[in-house]
């Protein structure tokens, strides 16, 4: 590791990857910029949620609707998926070969889709308990914030599948490498957003 030039924040490919390492610099920097912009998007939606907490308009509130056990399992899924994506990144960096890389990505995808499945189940339960978004300002704000994160995860899953397809077609070439590195940032970013959602929405709502 010593003497390695860090081209951008986060996991670097390293000089052993030659020109791909150089090509990562502007690409990953640009993606960090996108994440900053996306963070503002989430920030605004968080602000909407927090300032709508009392706007239940006589409808059900957090206690009647949130199921902390289910959300806790979802959280574990996402945290585990961040770990497995980390393993995928290491497999990429140290060139452990396509099968291992794809295996870690596949586990990540499984955890990601598992998260989405559980989350949809939560939403369906909420609907059944009278917690539809049209019921109150509070529920509108909830259904802006949490599904927005879910949509991001879904986008991440589609992106992941598409990258595996690219590996199958082209092997681990430069664009695949840069794609995986960007998706990794995206995935970890969504994890952080989820931790904020878990703390502010679920823990905050139930205490």
Q: Which residue in 16, 57, 124, 203 binds other proteins (CB under 8 A)?
A: 57
Residues numbered 66 to 105 that lie near other proteins (CB under 8 A) are none
Angle between helices 19-50 and 174-197 (to 10 degrees): 20
Residue 157 C-beta: closest distance to other proteins, Å: 12
Binding mask 16-35 for other proteins (x = CB under 8 A): ---------xxx-xx--xx-
Question: With contacts defined by CB under 8 A, how many residues of the chain interact with other proteins?
Answer: 44
Q: Distance (Å, rounded) from C-alpha 63 to C-alpha 205?
A: 7
Residue 133 C-beta: closest distance to other proteins, Å: 5
> Does 120 sit near other proteins (CB under 8 A)?
no
> Does 138 sit near other proteins (CB under 8 A)?
yes
Q: Based on CB atoms, which residue is closest to other proteins, 51 or 76?
A: 51
Structure tokens at 78: 């996402």
Residues numbered 141 to 170 that lie near other proteins (CB under 8 A) are 141, 143-144, 158-159, 162-163, 165-166, 169-170
Residue with tokens 């994890």: 191
Residue 1: helix, strand or coil by DSSP?
A: coil
Residues numbered 34 to 53 that lie near other proteins (CB under 8 A) are 34, 36-38, 40-41, 43-45, 48, 51-52
Q: How many CA atoms lie within 13 A of 94 on its CB side?
A: 8
Q: Based on CB atoms, which residue is closest to other proteins, 35 or 80?
A: 35
Using alpha carbons, list the distances in angstroms from residue 94 to 83, 101, 177.
Answer: 17, 10, 12
Q: Distance (Å, rounded) from C-alpha 25 to C-alpha 86?
A: 19
Of 123, 124, 141, 137, nearest to 49 by C-alpha is: 141
Q: Distance (Å, rounded) from C-alpha 79 to C-alpha 190?
A: 10
Of 1, 2, 6, 12, nearest to 184 by C-alpha is: 12
List contacts with other proteins (CB under 8 A). 25-27, 29-30, 33-34, 36-38, 40-41, 43-45, 48, 51-52, 55-57, 59, 133-141, 143-144, 158-159, 162-163, 165-166, 169-170, 173, 175, 179
């Amino acid at each position: 590791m010593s003497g390695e030039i860090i081209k951008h924040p986060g996991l670097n490919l390293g000089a052993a990857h030659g020109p791909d390492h150089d090509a990562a610099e502007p690409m990953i920097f640009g993606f960090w910029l996108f994440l900053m912009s996306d963070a503002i998007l989430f920030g605004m939606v968080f602000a909407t949620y927090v300032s709508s907490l009392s706007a239940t308009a006589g409808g059900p509130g957090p206690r009647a609707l949130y199921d902390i056990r289910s959300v806790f399992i979802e959280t574990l899924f996402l945290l585990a998926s961040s770990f497995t994506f980390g393993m995928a990144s290491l497999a990429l960096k140290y060139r452990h070969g396509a099968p291992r890389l794809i295996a870690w990505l596949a586990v990540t995808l499984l955890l990601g889709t598992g998260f989405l499945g559980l989350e949809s189940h939560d939403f369906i339960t909420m609907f059944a308990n009278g917690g539809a978004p049209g019921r109150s300002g509070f529920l509108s704000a909830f259904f802006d914030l949490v599904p927005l994160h879910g949509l991001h995860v879904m986008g991440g899953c589609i992106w992941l599948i598409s990258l595996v397809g690219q590996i199958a077609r082209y092997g681990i070439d430069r664009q695949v490498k840069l794609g995986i590195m960007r998706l990794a940032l995206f995935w970890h970013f969504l994890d952080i957003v989820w931790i904020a959602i878990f703390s502010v929405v679920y823990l905050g709502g139930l205490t």
